Structure 1
Amino acid sequence: MIENNNALAGKLPKTPYPELKKLQPLVGKWKISGDDGLQATSTFEWMEGGFFLVHHFDLIQGEERHKGVEYIGFDENTQTLRSRLMDIDGSNFSYTYDIEGHTMWYWFGDRGSNNYSKSVFTEDFKSYEGKWRWPMPDGSTGGYSFKAERMD
């Protein structure tokens, strides 16, 4: 999601961008578990109007807790599904989403970043499994595996 779309004031589209439909498999409530004791709940719902998907999350992994909200929309400049995530720890991060078929990519920052998650949905879209990967200062790769199951 771009920082703002002030330049489009008065020229905003009347209907949501078709690309947003790719996010539909995420809509609902999810229970997530994974490495290092990862336990989380995630809820995705469309904001009225359908221009943004709102993601509420509550996650504990090891000694860390993350809780917050993410707003996902269409970025006119990059033609990608971009988000702004805000966490109780003060984080204000940008991410990029893509879902093609049953595969979901979630990049920290821009599409193609080397800090990313790749997940695969089951045929019925009731669960998905994935891995987060990121570069470590010593040149190795950090990461963890997880599984999400639909609760609704």
Structure 2
Amino acid sequence: MSNDTTPQLQQPPQPNPDLEPLNRLVGTWRLSGDTAGTTTYEWMEGGFFLMQHVEFEENERKTRGLEIIGHEQKYGEAPSEDIKSRYYSGGGETLEYVYELKGDTLTIWSGWRDSPAYYQGTFSADGNVLDGRWVYPGGGGYTTIATRVK
């Protein structure tokens, strides 16, 4: 029987390493194409969540919002397998997405993985341009080019 009363140091939780590829998004981007505006990505303290601050105009409608991207984890449960996000618009909408970044291709599904509504874009060789398109069921959608400005 051990009488060791030395407290055991617990390692603090660490962000899931599959979030690391999202570092490519960090910075401020100018949007052009069928949208105009800016978006800024930054890590929340701790590195568990990436925040996106959005300000753009689409179809003559101005939009401001905040998106939180990471693994969803409810108290007492394991984190989600997918990288999920929740977007909050200044107009009161809440939207959910699933992110995947493989190689130079970023895919963002609206609602759930493999949704028929999605964004797919490709990073340039230097990583400073993300050229893509939102696709909607029935053939709708729009193109957007994001160019890193800082």
The TM-score normalised by the length of structure 2 is 0.85
Distance in 2, matches of 1:97 and 1:39, equals 22
Identity among equivalent positions (%) equals 38
Q: Deviations over 1:69-100 (max 9, x none)?
A: 00001135541110010001111111110000
Distance in 2, matches of 1:94 and 1:119, equals 18
> Is 1:56–1:68's contact at 8 Å kept on the other side of the alignment?
yes
Which of 119, 122, 129 is equivalent to 1:120? Answer: 122
Corresponding residue of 2:92? 90
**Alpha-carbon distance, 1:128 to partner:** 1.1
1:57 and 2:59 correspond: no
**Alpha-carbon distance, 1:62 to partner:** 2.4
**Alpha-carbon distance, 1:46 to partner:** 0.4
Which of 41, 44, 69 is equivalent to 1:44? Answer: 41
Q: Deviations over 1:24-51 (max 9, x none)?
A: 110000001112xx20100000011101
Corresponding residue of 1:111? 113
Worse-superposed segment, 57-66 or 44-53: 57-66
Count of residues in correspondence between the two structures: 136
Larger radius of gyration: 2
**Superposition CA RMSD, Å:** 1.7
Structure 1: runs of 5+ lacking an equivalent? 1-12
Distance in 2, matches of 1:68 and 1:145, equals 19
Matches for 1:1-16 after TM superposition, within 5 Å: 14-16=13-15
The TM-score normalised by the length of structure 1 is 0.84
Change (3 A) 1:21 1:65: same
Distance in 1, matches of 2:79 and 2:27, equals 28
Corresponding residue of 2:8? none
Corresponding residue of 2:148? 150
Corresponding residue of 1:26? 25
> Is 1:22–1:98's contact at 8 Å kept on the other side of the alignment?
no
